[in-house]
Amino acid sequence: MTERSETIVQESLWKIRLKLWLKEFKRNWALFRERKIAIFGLSVIIFFAVFGIIYPLYPTIMKNVFWKDDIISYETFTPYDPIIGFDPNIFDHPSPPSLVHPLGTDPLGRDVLSMVMYSTPREFVLGITAALITVVIGTIIGASSAYYGGVVDTFFMRLADIVMLFPSLAILMVLSAFIELSLFRLALIIGILAGFGSITIVLKAQALTVKVRPFIEAAKSTGASDAYIILKHIIPNILPLSFLYMMLNVTGAIFTEAVLSFLGLANIRMSWGVIIHMAESSGYLMGSSIGTYWWLWVPAGACITLLCSAFYFLGRGLEEIVNPRLRKR
């Protein structure tokens, strides 16, 4: 028989919470690791993150390797500047990939690799900002709709219906005509537009399953205010789903920006979409030129695809953790 003894919990609360959280994290990580698709996604994202961070090193390395004897030229023309660069040593721009320019140059003489690298952090910022805004709006609306029900609920659901009626790309195209769509503004608009749409419906459905659980009733009976319940009880329980949707929204945001830039409608100086736009408007994507000038569209297009699919893979990997019914035995 066990002896009953008094034990006083020695550790502080935050330490215990941290340990519990770590244990949960390790378990989810083990689950996550099994999904090769998710690992693939994560690796690609990390790769691009690193790729973007080391960008400043690139011109420095190239300068020291290839331009040692020609510093003056380098300083004047800054051949590796993604926006105003120009390589005077090459006659014909766009030039195919070479040692000096691993991905060749574009019609204006700019180094393609540096354009691609420069755009990377910007794509991240755009994608994550827009997705974050969408998820914050969607979560708050979803939780409030579920909790309050009634007029609030109907209003937001009808609003979502209307928002979903608008083809988002078309609306953005129209907006581009009278708002200057700089990177940050575009992220904001994309984020807000998506925030009121289908994500609210999904998150509300999830919040409803939380709302009917007994502990909500318990919290109410101890006098918790509505805001407190929503913030501290409902939202944390739908957060995993929100996080999942955030990944999917990053994909959409990056894609939307790329399309807008490609069509020449956005006011962004340099992004992957802009690179392809430059190729198209200079006429290098006609007929047989497509194959000849491949470096003008393949690298940028591949980057967009890779990063978008990486976030999507990551999202699907997370889905298996968040939705236990999809788990393998």
Partner 1 sequence: MLKFLSKRIVQIVILLFIYVTIVYWLMEAMPGSFTDKYLMNPKITPEIRQNLEKQFGLDKPAFTRYLYYMKNFLKLDLGISFSHFPKKVSSLIFERLPRTVFLFVTATLVSYILGYNLGKRAAWRRGKILDKTATFVGIVFWTIFLPLLAIFNIWLFGVILKILPLNQFINPNVWRGTDLSAQNVFLNLLLNAFIFLVVMMISLIFAQRVKTVAAKRTIVLSSAVVTLTVSIILWTSTGLGIYALDIILHMVLPVLTLTLYSFAGSMLVMRDTMLEVVREDYVVTAKAKGLPDRVVRDKHAARNALLPLITNFVISLGFTLGGGIITETMFSWPGLGRAYLEALNSQDTPLLIGLLVFTGIFVLLAHLIADVLYAFLDPRIRY
| Residues in touch with partner 1 (CB under 8 A) | 37, 158, 161-162, 164-171, 173-174, 177-178, 198, 251, 255, 258-259, 262-263, 265, 276, 285, 287-288, 290-291, 297-298, 301-302, 304-305, 308-309, 312-313, 316, 325-326, 328
Shortest CB 11 distance to partner 1, Å:
41
- When the beta carbons of 150 and 167 are compared against partner 1, the nearer one is 167
Three-state DSSP at 266 gives coil
Shortest CB 328 distance to partner 1, Å:
7
Residue 33 amino acid letter: R
Which residues have CB under 8 Å from 111's CB, separation 6+? 79, 80, 82, 85, 87, 101, 103, 105
Shortest CB 150 distance to partner 1, Å:
18
- When the beta carbons of 66 and 255 are compared against partner 1, the nearer one is 255
- When the beta carbons of 170 and 212 are compared against partner 1, the nearer one is 170
Residue 185 amino acid letter: R
Burial of 328 (0-12, 13-18, 19+ CB in 10 A): exposed
Shortest CB 14 distance to partner 1, Å:
38
- When the beta carbons of 151 and 170 are compared against partner 1, the nearer one is 170
d(CA 273, CA 259): 6
- When the beta carbons of 32 and 255 are compared against partner 1, the nearer one is 255
Three-state DSSP at 105 gives strand
Shortest CB 57 distance to partner 1, Å:
27
Which residues have CB under 8 Å from 233's CB, separation 6+? 210, 215, 216, 219
